[in-house]
Amino acid sequence: MRVGTRLRWDSISKISESSTVKSLSIWFVVMPIVAAVLSAPAIQPLVDGIELPFTWGVLYLAALCFFLGSLIYAWRCPAIIREFRSWQDFSEREGSYERLIPLIAEALSDVSANQRVATLSRLHRGKVIEFRDENRGLYSTDAISEMIADADKMALALRSGSVISGPLVDAYSSVREATQRARPVARWSVSALQTIGSMFILIVLAQSCWAVMRVYVS
């Protein structure tokens, strides 16, 4: 398997939605406020002589990386992954074809035309989604292929479509899988920022451990 195929939005989402990353993102905003308070003339005498075991600048760079990564994640991660952890989550909160339509349209508008046609054609052949015209008659296979090859026509086709409750999970799962590698620039940007941020955190931990060791050694 090529390295480029391993990075999935699901993996990025697990990290981005973790409480640790969310806390670090908040620290990007909080740390300048804390620094300003500690620098105030009234507070300065109270903190003189206190030495932290790590460098504030390194921790701030880590918070900056996770903050930027969270912004890109919130902006570019497909809603079907960002808003719902799994089919069970979607089913409990929404669970309708009408709610699934905009998620499918958004997810498949950012994949290649070939992948979009392959995904929706597979759903149609499996009788998961039925595309119908204005008279509620079923479209031919050729007409469907022509429609779903274009992102705008696909959105219209989805709104005129229908799906029975049984295979709704199949429609959700297929589209979620198809969108795992959509928006590659955003995917790799978030992953890179999270990796760099983690490296800065490791530096902070190393500085803290070294400070503790120096105390015991001395």
* Per-residue pLDDT tens over the stretch 199-208: 998 888 887 7
The rounded radius of gyration (Å) of the Cα atoms in the chain is 24
Predicted confidence (pLDDT) at residue 53 exceeds the cutoff of 60: no
Contact by Cβ (8 Å): 119, 175: yes
> What pLDDT is recorded for position 105?
78
Q: Which segments of the chain does DSSP mark as H helices, in order?
A: 9-16, 19-38, 44-47, 56-76, 79-82, 87-93, 97-109, 113-125, 141-148, 151-159, 168-178, 184-217
- Mean per-residue pLDDT, 46-65: 72
Question: What angle, 0 to 180 degrees and rounded to 10, lies between the N-to-C axes of helices 113-125 and 141-148?
Answer: 140
My answer on whether 84 and 155 are in the same domain is: yes
Task: Mark whether 90 and 149 lie in a shared domain.
Answer: yes
Is pLDDT above 50 for 194?
Answer: yes
Q: What is the pLDDT of residue 122?
A: 75
Which residues form the domain of 29?
Answer: 8-77+184-217
Q: Which of 9-18, 99-108, 146-155 comes out lowest in average pLDDT?
A: 146-155
Do 66 and 118 reside in the same domain of the chain? no
Residue 16 has pLDDT above 50, yes or no: yes
Is residue 1 very low, low, confident or very high in pLDDT (cuts 50, 70, 90)? very low
pLDDT at position 129, please? 72
Could you tell me if 152 and 198 lie in one domain?
A: no
| pLDDT digit string, tens, across residues 154-188 | 766 676 666 554 577 888 888 888 888 888 899 99
Residues 134 and 153 in one domain: yes
Same domain membership, residue 207 and residue 174? no
In this predicted structure, what is the pLDDT of residue 20? 85
Judge whether 105 lies within some domain. Answer: yes
Query: Residue 16: inside a domain, yes or no?
Result: yes
Same domain, 159 and 85: yes
Q: What is the mean pLDDT of residues 191-211?
A: 86
Quote the pLDDT of residue 4: 44
Asked if residue 1 is part of any domain, the answer here is no
3-state secondary structure of 130: strand
- pLDDT, tens digit, for every residue of 99-141? 777 887 787 777 777 777 777 777 777 767 776 666 655 666 6
pLDDT of residue 60: 84
Q: Do residues 58 and 96 share a domain?
A: no
| Co-location of 172 and 88 in the same domain | yes
86 domain-assigned: yes
On whether both 99 and 170 belong to a single domain, the answer is yes
Does 36 map to a domain?
yes
Report the pLDDT value the prediction gives residue 26, as an integer from 0 to 100. Answer: 81
Domain count, the chain: 2
Same-domain check for residues 191 and 155: no
- When the pLDDT of each residue in the chain is averaged and rounded to a whole number, the result is 77
124 lies in a domain?
A: yes
d(CA 154, CA 159): 9
CA nearest to 121, candidates 112, 109, 130: 130
Of 15, 5, 51, which is closest to residue 191 (Cα–Cα)?
Answer: 15
Do 105 and 71 reside in the same domain of the chain?
no
What is the average per-residue pLDDT within 68-94?
90
